[in-house]
Amino acid sequence: MGDLAGLDIAGVRERSRIKSEIADALCEAGRFGQKTGKGYYKYEAGSRAPLPDPEVEKLIDETCSASGASAAWSATRKSSSA
């Protein structure tokens, strides 16, 4: 949903309630969702089909490591790829 509306739009609303460090990091990287062709996923020009993006996994790894949440993220990735 964030990619469709735009992570910058969702971020303004979310910051008043719960801060999402990953969404903030995506916005700081200029990844605002479908309108910029990159958000949690990347999008080809004229397409709304989400494509996995290794850059996002790297960004999530870095963000989680910085916040001390890397062990939980690693466990989640392993269980979802099984």
Q: What pLDDT sits at residue 16?
A: 41
**Residue 3 vs residue 31, higher pLDDT:** 31
Q: What pLDDT sits at residue 41?
A: 95
What region, left, alpha or beta, does residue 50 occupy, with left being phi > 0 and alpha being psi -120 to 50 degrees? beta
Q: What pLDDT sits at residue 4?
A: 61
Distance CA 31, CA 19 (A): 17
Note the pTM of the prediction, 2 decimals.
0.62
Select from 63, 54, 1, 52 the least CA-distant residue to 26: 63
In the numeric block, which tokens belong to residue 70?
């890397």
pLDDT per position as a tens digit, 10-22: 555 544 444 578 8
pLDDT per position as a tens digit, 11-69: 555 444 445 788 888 999 999 999 899 999 999 998 999 999 999 999 988 888 887 76
Distance CA 15, CA 27 (A): 13
